[in-house]
Amino acid sequence: MTAVTLDIEPLDATFGAWGHDIELRSIDDATFAALHETWLEYALLIFSGLFLTSDEQDAFARRFGNLEFNAAPISNVGKDGEVHHESGDDLVKSLKGNWGWHHDSTYMPPQAKGAVFTAELVPRDGADTGWADMRAAYEALSEEDRDLVHTLEAHHSLYYSQGRAGLLPKQKDDGSYGMYGCHDMDVSVRPLVKVHPDTGRPNLLIGRHAHDIIGMDPDESVALLDRLNREACQPPRIYQHAWTAGEAVIWDNRRLMHQGVPFDMSQPRKMRHTCIAGDLAAELALNHTAESAGFKHDREHLLNSG
How far is it, in rounded angstroms, from Cα 162 to Cα 94? Answer: 8
Q: Is the pLDDT confidence value at 177 over 80?
A: no
Cβ neighbours for 236, distance < 8 A, ≥ 6 positions apart: 12, 13, 14, 136
Question: What is the mean predicted confidence (pLDDT) over 207-232?
Answer: 97
Q: At residue 116, what is the residue type?
A: V
pLDDT, position 185:
81
Question: What is the mean predicted confidence (pLDDT) over 117-124?
Answer: 95
- Angle at alpha carbon of residue 54, lines to 115 and 93, rounded to 5°: 60
Q: What is the mean pLDDT of the chain?
A: 91
pLDDT level of residue 178 (50, 70, 90 thresholds): low
pLDDT level of residue 293 (50, 70, 90 thresholds): very low
pLDDT level of residue 297 (50, 70, 90 thresholds): very low
Q: Is the pLDDT confidence value at 36 over 90?
A: yes
How far is it, in rounded angstroms, from Cα 290 to Cα 282? Answer: 20
Share of the chain above pLDDT 70, in %: 90
Cβ neighbours for 90, distance < 8 A, ≥ 6 positions apart: 169, 170, 178, 179
Q: Is the pLDDT confidence value at 210 over 70?
A: yes
Of 34-43, 73-82, 295-304, least confident by mean pLDDT is 295-304
Select from 46, 65, 59, 18 the least CA-distant residue to 280.
65
Q: Are 265 and 99 within 8 A, CB to CB?
A: no
- H/E segment holding residue 67: strand 67-75
Superfamily in which the 7-304 domain is placed by CATH? Clavaminate synthase-like (3.60.130.10)
pLDDT level of residue 181 (50, 70, 90 thresholds): confident
- The alpha carbons of the chain give a radius of gyration, in whole angstroms, of 19
pLDDT, position 173:
64
Q: Is the pLDDT confidence value at 2 over 70?
A: no
pLDDT, position 262:
93
pLDDT, position 76:
94
pLDDT, position 212:
97
How far is it, in rounded angstroms, from Cα 155 to Cα 192? Answer: 10
pLDDT, position 289:
45
Q: Is the pLDDT confidence value at 227 over 90?
A: yes
Q: Which among 88-92, 97-101, 171-175 has the top mean pLDDT?
A: 97-101
pLDDT, position 298:
46
Partner residues linked to 45 by β-bridges: 17, 250
How far is it, in rounded angstroms, from Cα 102 to Cα 208? Answer: 5
DSSP-based three-state secondary structure for 126: coil
pLDDT, position 168:
85
Strands (E), 33-178: 44-47, 67-75, 114-121, 129-133, 153-156
Q: Is the pLDDT confidence value at 290 over 60?
A: no
